[in-house]
């Protein structure tokens, strides 16, 4: 059995394929920038969708 798909179905999942492909390619890179890896932080200036509007107001007021 093969793992073939109809073209519309394959294109629908192309973003996931691209992500998986980049992950695999980057895993082959032996030169790891440890500073970049350990500098992975949450950007507090982004409005995350799970935050309520009240939390957004409180955060903006705290930043001012």
Half-sphere exposure of 37 (CA within 13 A, CB side): 5
Token reading at 38: 């350990």
Query: CA 43, 48, 52, 57 torsion: positive or negative?
Result: positive
**CB neighbour list of residue 44: distance below 8 Å, 6 or more residues apart:** 59
Question: Cβ(31)–Cβ(16) under 8 Å?
Answer: no
What's residue 53's pLDDT? Answer: 67
Residues 10-57: pLDDT tens digits? 777 777 778 888 888 888 877 877 887 788 777 778 777 776 666 667
Whole-prediction pTM: 0.32
């Amino acid at each position: 059995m093969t793992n073939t798909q109809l073209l519309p179905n394959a294109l629908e999942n192309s973003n996931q394929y691209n992500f998986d492909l980049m992950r695999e390619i980057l895993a082959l890179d032996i030169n790891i920038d440890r500073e970049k890896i350990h500098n992975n932080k949450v950007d507090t200036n982004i409005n995350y969708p799970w935050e309520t509007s009240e939390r957004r107001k409180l955060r903006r007021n705290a930043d001012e």
